[in-house]
Amino acid sequence: MSFVQGKIPQKLKLIHGFGAVAFGVKDTGFSFFLLLFYNQVLGMDAGLVSLALLIALLVDAVVDPILGNLSDRTYTRWGRRLPWLYAAPVPLAFAWVLMWTPPGGEAPTFLGLLGIAIVVRILLSACEVPSVSLLPEITSDYDERTTLFRYRYLFGWCGGITMMLLAYTVFMPGPEGLLQRDGYVGFGIFGAILMAVSVLGSALGQHKLVAHLPRQKPPPFSIKGAFSEIIEAFSEKAFLIFAAGGLAAYVAQGMSFSISNYVNVFVWQFDRGALTAYPIVLFVSVILMFFIVGPMHKRLGKPRSAQIASIGSFAILFTPYLLLLGGFWPQVGTLKSHALFYAFLVFGNALAVVVMISASSMIAEIVEAFQERTGRRAEGSFYSGNWLVQKCATGFGIFITGQIISLSQLSQDAEPGTVPQTVITDMIIYFGIGSGFLALVAAYWLGRFPINRADHEARLAALGAEAAASASKPG
């Protein structure tokens, strides 16, 4: 039985979504700024930085299912998730600050960067996995789950966009722009505070609803038992199909995010005003997503919505690059060029977020499918599995960006407007080939997700009847 029957109160939507701000802050930091900071500001090789971030993600991805299983097995008077949400955010804040202020203000060793990146990611997982695992417990309604994910993504993007906007206007506003080393100190401190406030605030706001002993006491945690349950959960057919499509979508997202500052600065030659407008345009695209994803799911269902959005997003977002290479684009660096690019970005990014919401919401339906087959609920295991897929993929996407930058031979001291056209062309071609292939793979597999609305509602009815029959038995 879910915590809320029927429509979810607006206050709860806002409070639950607010917890995703921390993820948005982390995602923007890792995907948009960290590679640029360690490469162009501290002088580390882009290939080595991207490799360190990839390894950190892979380590975190392996730890995630264990965290999810621990969360499923947590048995306290505050429920299964809240203890994690109270314990993890403060250490996370301190680790986040350290990552943006390496000792001595100089580039760390490869192992130093790897170590702090691993710590940050594991602590963030200890916040995000329990938080998102609450969602299937809060409601079992097909559309209300989409609504909660809309709010999570809205707040997550708001957190990330806030950090991006502040980076361009407050922390690094001078002539050196994103190459100002001192600006990243304030960036790290403010982000750390925002992360801690969002996780703790969301947990406190949901405390009254979810703080009670779980209905059943799970068996004690053991590594062997954890991996046995994780393997069983991950062998669910619907999860494997989701993972195949989600993997491609997340790789594409990681590559797109991490390469954005490179293409914005060196391909499109954004000036200070255009960079400041960039997060605002992203915010507009997320607002557009907020209003289209619900009707898409109601009319088309989640799998079809993800399929259409994946192909549509790539087609829209890559069109400006094709026009540029074909000589049909206005002079880069001009207001006309900026405005036209942003027009494509609003619609393309909105569809890209629809893909992510559709995929994330699919996992909630897998929970009941697994429960029907095994008699157990494993929200933490499935959502940690999602993070395993996402982090491996995102790390690989960032790694690909590092290789694209290296293969295109963009120098570490490159100046906008002086980069050879061959370098720009190579960067665009490599980026386009990778993005197009990944969009097609994501569309193919997510479109074949086997649980639709009718399947889900029939399963809920069967589980409800089974629970009622069990409760009516004497003794």
Better-predicted residue by pLDDT, 6 or 191? 191
User: Does 7 map to a domain?
Assistant: no
**What tokens appear for 261 in the block?**
């500052």
Buried b (16+ CB within 10 A) or exposed e, 287-311: ebbbebbeebbeeebbbbbbbbbbb
Spatial distance between the Cα atoms of 371 and 433, rounded to a whole number of angstroms: 40
Work out the burial of residue 201: count CB atoms within 10 Å of its CB; fewer than 13 is exposed, 13-18 middle, 19 or more buried. Answer: middle
Name 233's Cβ contacts closer than 8 Å, sequence gap at least 6: 239, 370, 378, 381, 382, 385
User: Does 4 map to a domain?
Assistant: no
Please say if the pLDDT value at position 473 is more than 70. no
Range name among 117-121, 151-155, 283-287, 377-381 with the lowest pLDDT average:
377-381
DSSP state letter for 298 = H
- Tell me the CA end-to-end span of the chain in Å, nearest whole number: 21
Residue 90 lies in domain: 16-214+221-467
Spatial distance between the Cα atoms of 232 and 258, rounded to a whole number of angstroms: 34
Range name among 19-33, 166-180, 267-281 with the lowest pLDDT average:
166-180
What's the confidence (pLDDT) of residue 430? Answer: 92
Please say if the pLDDT value at position 203 is more than 70. yes
Q: 335-374 and 110-138 are packed helices; what angle lies between their axes, rounded to 10 degrees?
A: 60
User: Does 368 map to a domain?
Assistant: yes
What's the confidence (pLDDT) of residue 475? Answer: 52
Is residue 219 classed as helix, strand or coil in its secondary structure?
coil
User: Does 425 map to a domain?
Assistant: yes
DSSP state letter for 270 = -
Q: 379-407 and 110-138 are packed helices; what angle lies between their axes, rounded to 10 degrees?
A: 140
The CATH code of the domain that includes 103 is 1.20.1250.20
What's the confidence (pLDDT) of residue 366? Answer: 87
User: Does 317 map to a domain?
Assistant: yes
User: Does 284 map to a domain?
Assistant: yes
Model's pTM, two decimal places?
A: 0.76
Asked if residue 117 lies in contact with residue 52, where contact means CB atoms within 8 angstroms, the answer is yes
Better-predicted residue by pLDDT, 384 or 428? 428
**What tokens appear for 433 in the block?**
């080939």
Spatial distance between the Cα atoms of 470 and 148, rounded to a whole number of angstroms: 30
Q: How many domains, the chain?
A: 1
Please say if the pLDDT value at position 279 is more than 60. yes
What's the confidence (pLDDT) of residue 161? Answer: 87
**What tokens appear for 293 in the block?**
């994803």
User: Does 2 map to a domain?
Assistant: no
Work out the burial of residue 475: count CB atoms within 10 Å of its CB; fewer than 13 is exposed, 13-18 middle, 19 or more buried. Answer: exposed
Q: Categorize the per-residue pLDDT at 105 as very low, low, confident or very high, splitting at 50, 70 and 90.
A: confident
Please say if the pLDDT value at position 321 is more than 90. yes
Q: What is the mean pLDDT of residues 54-78?
A: 84
How many residues are given for the chain? 475
* % of the chain beyond a pLDDT of 70: 97
Name 381's Cβ contacts closer than 8 Å, sequence gap at least 6: 65, 68, 69, 72, 229, 230, 233, 234
Spatial distance between the Cα atoms of 431 and 408, rounded to a whole number of angstroms: 10
Query: What is the rounded average pLDDT for all residues in the chain?
Result: 87
What's the confidence (pLDDT) of residue 386? Answer: 74
What's the confidence (pLDDT) of residue 18? Answer: 95
Please say if the pLDDT value at position 75 is more than 70. yes
